[in-house]
Structure 1
């Protein structure tokens, strides 16, 4: 839900910037307040509606500096799932400093299938978690496209609504009643994309390494290394784009079940319910080919493989799970490179997704 709202924010701001009068007003930079609402659909939420207000700073025209945003967002689904967040994506000191952070609360009734890569769909059980989270990640620019800095995260989770006699009720799963997670570490990103909305060339790599310790206030102790890499190529055919993504999450120790790697989502491994399979280690790869059709309509085909496991070993790598699908794209506004996205994908089941912005 959060990603959909953020994409719509960028769409609204970019649309406003395309107007000539607005462009002239931005010679010295400008602040805007952007309100909006967003309907969407995905398997985990069914239909949902999100709304937000954003304070956006667009730097002086032709300055080469990055846009800054403060976003207050909320969303609710027909399954009585709610989320509210305040996030920061601010650049300061001539883009030498990036101030990233999120303060959020969510109540997200969901399904738990167990831990591991061979759980059964028939054994799913409901639970109702509530999350409160604070994440801070200031970064300094150390190279033209590379930002590095410390990272901290506090999460307080409460889990209720367990199925009587189920896995989460028997005390056999770490975090079955919730808990507190305090993580400290470092994070970085390297971004050479030609566009944040619809990249046709360049790459984006995000990395973070964090540890949770009881001495810091955590209920359990575990480590996390997460690397998300994406690259984009423009094909010889006009406006055709090949996009690739690789995601690796490695954990040591005993993370709570709600903080493990989850296979499936509307962005990676479409065709799997998010959390259908979950465990300490998570690996996923996907490719997508994007083709214009006519007017503002385009199409995509995509395929992915991934798996989760207790350890990153031969058994996990030999049991990669496949998914594939296709979709249509519609650009609601001329010269604004953000698409409405309708995808149909098959992995463990046949799912469809309606959202704004590309999957990655």
Structure 2
């Protein structure tokens, strides 16, 4: 079965040491950087080898958010390579915030066909090369006095993708996906209401955000829109455990490439599967997670997730849920900022085992 982890080598990523640095001539404990190796194994990637590092910059004021620069790179024995540079920034006493993601993939992937009920053993193998730059910048100028937790922002994406479906022989019944190669460039707006006490590991508050993004042939090769409603809540639970719940709804209209439709991403929403294992014009995800700090730099979590897709809202409501139950371990990269790397195992649809490695929480 796919996603069944034959070797639990991912545990080495958390057994390996984390390297952290502080200012040598400072009397406080502000952490300047953190780094951790990536050593793992999944059915999608086979063996993984690489590293991730984060550089932290001192906040502008006491209690403010720290600007970060995330760097990661790893390759696999399945001839997959990925790398990213992702700064998260805060300016003018946190009145302006944002994040960039400069990303490159040279990836071997699998296409399971469109719909909510894929056959996990029937897929078309392909090669994909992707380069993209995404940016989201938010502010509370003009709104802070009367709605202090409200922020508005601008989103844009520059994306070029080349997908080769001819390199590998396929003898099944899946049709080739339409709309694969080319530029996917878009712009849109983003609104949010955020009362969380921490943007990495929140223990109180809520986040409600709405995004509406427009992709047009005047900017690239495709014309479509992407809408997204993301609702999250956080509270304390028994035994000093924090509980997080989340709901995500996505809708894509127009002539979108198959890999840009609404569906599972395998990292944050419905962990433990390949990206777009199930997908369509609309998707919905429900999540619940319990997180607890243990000792030293270690923490753990257990979670439940449900997800489904459909081409129309009535189709979405009628389709059956995919379900996943899982647990994971976490290693603190910056304890003061509550920033953790995580490795998690999922029991997908109570049939298959999947594994996820990522920095920061899923939601």
- TM class by shorter chain equals 0.7 to 0.9
Which residue does 2:7 correspond to in 1?
none
* CA-to-aligned-CA distance 1:106-127 (integer Å, 9 cap, x gap): 1111110111113333430100
Q: Confirm or deny: 8 A CA contact 1:186 1:208 kept in the other structure.
A: yes
Structure 1 residue 211: Cα displacement: 0.9
Question: Do the aligned partners of 1:303 and 1:322 also contact (CA within 8 Å) in 2?
Answer: no
Report the alpha carbon displacement of residue 212 of structure 1 after superposing the two structures with TM: 0.9
Tell me if the contact between 2:272 and 2:345 (Cα under 8 Å) persists in the aligned partners.
Answer: no
Q: Higher helix fraction: Structure 1 or Structure 2?
A: 1
Alignment of 1:236-251 (within 5 A): 237-251=238-252
Distance 1:234 1:102, change over 3 A: same
Deviations 1:31-69 (A, max 9, x none): x45554333445533442332454421125x62221112
Mapped pair 1:180 → 2:183: yes
**How far apart are 1:255 and its partner, in Å?**
0.7
Is 1:114–1:167's contact at 8 Å kept on the other side of the alignment? no
CA-CA distance at 1:103 after TM superposition: 1.9
Look up the match of 2:76. 77
Label 1:205 to 1:58 Cα distance change in 2 as closer, same or farther (>3 A).
farther
Q: Could you say which residue in structure 2 is the equivalent of 1:324?
A: 324
Note the aligned Cα RMSD (angstroms). 3.4
Provide the aligned length of Structure 1 versus Structure 2.
339
Residue of structure 2 in register with 1:150 after alignment: 154
Query: How big is the shift at 1:322?
Result: 3.3
Contact 2:310-2:319 at 8 Å conserved across structures? no
Aligned counterpart, 1:93: 92
- CA contact 1:186–1:209 (8 Å) conserved in 2: yes
TM-score by length of 2: 0.79
Secondary structure of the residue aligned to 1:64 is coil
SS at match of 1:282: strand
Mapped to 1, the partners of 2:63 and 2:288 lie a distance apart of 30
Which of 340, 344, 347 aligns to 1:345? It is: 347
- 1:5 is aligned to none
Offset at residue 175 of structure 1 (A)? 1.9
Map of 2:58 onto structure 1: 58
Out of 215, 219, 222, which is 2:221 matched to? 219
In structure 1, the partner of 2:289 is: 288
The superposition leaves residues 272-295 of structure 1 with CA deviations (integer Å, 9 ceiling, x where unpaired) of 443221222111111123456788
TM-score (ref. length: structure 1):
0.80
Aligned partners of 1:41 and 1:355 also within 8 Å: no
In structure 1, runs of 5+ residues without a counterpart are: 1-7
